[in-house]
Chain A
């Protein structure tokens, strides 16, 4: 079955540091890949997505590239801010008739300090 593996957290960085959160996946077929973010006390918000190999998703300074050869979708940001502190979830979907469930990683908590 499908699975997503993320690096464990928490990850603690100083403001303006470079961020990488690793994500690898196992899936049949050609899944779409997503990063969701969960701020404290809130629900899941889509951060970015990529739907085919070599696609790069980007949003709010975050980027991730769909690497089929390494089955990876690592999240990066060049300069983090305190406001980026949240839990980040890597997820994949494999559409099937009548449904399109998401398979999530365990989430990585990011703490950004001044």
Chain B
């Protein structure tokens, strides 16, 4: 079964540095998402992306965050000027359509640790 893959599995970065998290969505999917999960807390929506544009973003997704689909396969989340509170597990997800009954397929996540 096709999978969403994320790299790296663990990223350690100094506060104030930039970090890029990478995702390869399922190949025939068109809609892409990032979520984050701070340790012990709920999974929170960050952003959705379709047709090379952000469709929706949450309050968490401030101007330090950006997303990009640089080629036909990768989907990246960039965080500039990282803060300690950015430490979390970041999940990428994809769907073929935006019909509400379509489940999102998640990757295994990237654990981001800001020191």
Given contact pairs A31-B100, A34-B103, A102-B35, A96 touches B56 in the complex (Cβ within 8 A): yes
Within B44-65, which residues are at the interface with A (CB < 8 Å)? Answer: 44-45, 48, 50-51, 53, 55-56, 58
Q: How many A-B residue pairs have CB under 8 A?
A: 80
Q: How far does the alpha carbon of A34 sit from the alpha carbon of B33 in the complex, in Å?
A: 17
Q: A44-B106, A104-B42 are in contact. Are A98 and B100 (CB under 8 A)?
A: no
Contact in complex: A98, B106 (CB < 8 Å): no
Asked if B101 and A32 sit within 8 Å, CB to CB, the answer is yes
Query: Closest approach, in angstroms, between the C-beta of B22 and any C-beta of chain A?
Result: 15
| Residues of chain A lying within 8 A (CB to CB) of residue B45 | 101-103
Would you call B102 an interface residue if the criterion is a C-beta within 8 Å of the partner chain's C-beta atoms? Answer: yes
Residue of A nearest to B58 (CB): A101
CB–CB B100/A43 < 8 A: no
Q: Which residues on A sit within 8 Å (CB–CB) of B98?
A: 95-100
A100 touches B100 (CB 8 A): yes
A104 partner residues in chain B, CB cutoff 8 A: 42-44
Instruction: Specify which chain A residues have a CB less than 8 angstroms from the CB of B51 in the assembled complex.
Output: 98
Known contacts A32-B100, A34-B103, A51-B100; A101/B48 CB under 8 A: yes
B residues neighboring A (CB under 8 Å):
4, 6, 31, 33, 35, 41-45, 48, 50-51, 53, 55-56, 58, 91, 93, 95, 98-109
Q: A45-B106, A102-B33, A107-B42 are in contact. List 18 more A-B contacts (CB 8 A).
A: A32-B100, A44-B93, A51-B101, A89-B43, A93-B104, A97-B98, A98-B53, A98-B55, A99-B50, A99-B98, A100-B98, A100-B99, A101-B33, A102-B35, A102-B43, A102-B93, A104-B44, A106-B41
